[in-house]
Structure 1
């Protein structure tokens, strides 16, 4: 039995949720090939109901449930896919656990306080995609934003001491040009927000506020620095979504 239900748990479950857990236990062998949508379809419920039933049984969501499966030892493909999904799950959970709600609010307040300022968003390498998306969303919210990945331009812009806010995205926090930007901001008393996954990054000592995420050390393509930027994208989304909520509250 994949999910054990004691008397206490049973008392918290509705009849529909009991039927979902029963279906999962009866179809354990097929579960590794199914999604939460498939289970909802087979049980005539919704993905939200399936997720709620699983969580009531002390399991933190469908992905954790699937990871707990005892996969056949001779099915290397299923084992490999399961490990990959586990890596993403660990990364996402660690990001949510490590970022402080107060720090998120501090960063959001920095941005809302810069509504009449020039906001610069910088990042290098694969992080540039996160930078572009974040900057675009800020622009759609009405902020005056300039994003660039050009090292010469970002360093020169950071030397200005006028009315501005600088936001740096850096996975490992070691990029030389970004460190120079951070130094310039500190010297020119420009507010600096740093979003990184490196607690030992030199960027942090120059930041007015920062958010720390987490990235998995197991790299898929070892020859190149193409570590997943999912943690940075998650933090970016949290900031933007909260800004949207604040805008809606004003309406």
Structure 2
């Protein structure tokens, strides 16, 4: 919620009619949509006249609805949606919102208990083994380096045959981290079954709660993956939710060990 906007409403509340108060309540509930919306569209969605919108804005000290949006952008200059939304076309807006949703909804889906349990398991392990394939390898490499910088023994494997082989020999004192967007990569699933059979703890980062990896692992970090893909002919979907979750775990781990 925008603090300045709420303050203006409070200051002028006694001068507002019921329809004006209703309009402002609607705007507050949909504040993030205001950069994209026209006065006509707001009139339709809030079921008030455009005259009511203009009159309400003037009571709050704005020259009109457009003036209100300009002030809102200035007050929320650190919000990237307000900074660039009016500068791009509809398709690019959709791409921006897609990425915003993947980050926001992934964070909302995180469970503090899962984070804490993962930290404790990693701390107690002698070594971390990370298994990843495809674009997920980039996230895995970052995790490996950061764990190593924090003094933790950590190794990464991305070759299918090596993953299958090593997963049979991992000590129960170690812990395995799987990174897979769809949670169904065959060699990773096989490795997870080997870990489960040998009582090796495992953590999965995925965007598929129903995937085999999530089901086979002790702990699962599940993020939100948008259904929209701008590369439909290729399996190159964004790993943004996996990156968000892995960084949150790394930051949390760093905090705990200090």
- Distance of aligned partners of 1:174 and 1:8 in 2 relative to their CA distance in 1, 3 Å threshold: same
Query: Using the alignment, how far apart are the partners of 2:68 and 2:190 within structure 1?
Result: 57
Q: CA deviation at 1:99?
A: 1.1
- Equivalent residue for 1:133, pick from 139, 142, 150: 142
Q: Gaps spanning 5+ residues in structure 2: where?
A: 14-60
- Distance of aligned partners of 1:22 and 1:132 in 2 relative to their CA distance in 1, 3 Å threshold: farther
Instruction: Tell me the matched-pair count.
Output: 206
Match of 1:84 in 2: 95
Query: Using the alignment, how far apart are the partners of 1:152 and 1:9 within structure 2?
Result: 68
C-alpha contact 2:133 2:180 (8 A) present in aligned 1: yes
Deviating 4+ runs (over 2 angstroms): 3-11, 21-31, 61-67
C-alpha contact 1:196 1:213 (8 A) present in aligned 2: yes
Q: Gaps spanning 5+ residues in structure 1: where?
A: 12-20, 40-49, 55-60
Tell me the C-alpha RMSD between the 2 structures: 3.1
Q: Mean Cα displacement is larger for which, 77-86 or 96-105?
A: 77-86
Match of 2:253 in 1: 243
Summarize deviations over 1:179-227 as a string: whole Å, max 9, x none.
0010000001101111111011011222111111111111111111110
With normalisation by structure 2, the TM-score equals 0.71
Match of 1:100 in 2: 111
- Distance of aligned partners of 1:22 and 1:240 in 2 relative to their CA distance in 1, 3 Å threshold: farther
- Distance of aligned partners of 1:137 and 1:10 in 2 relative to their CA distance in 1, 3 Å threshold: farther
Match of 1:7 in 2: 9
Match of 1:192 in 2: 202
Match of 1:212 in 2: 222
- Distance of aligned partners of 1:187 and 1:4 in 2 relative to their CA distance in 1, 3 Å threshold: same
Match of 1:16 in 2: none
Match of 2:120 in 1: 109
Summarize deviations over 1:99-126 as a string: whole Å, max 9, x none.
1111111111111111xx1210011111
Query: Using the alignment, how far apart are the partners of 2:226 and 2:232 within structure 1?
Result: 13
With normalisation by structure 1, the TM-score equals 0.73
**1:116-155 pair list within 5 angstroms:** 117-155=126-164
Which has the higher Rg, Structure 1 or Structure 2?
2
Q: CA deviation at 1:7?
A: 2.7
Match of 1:17 in 2: none
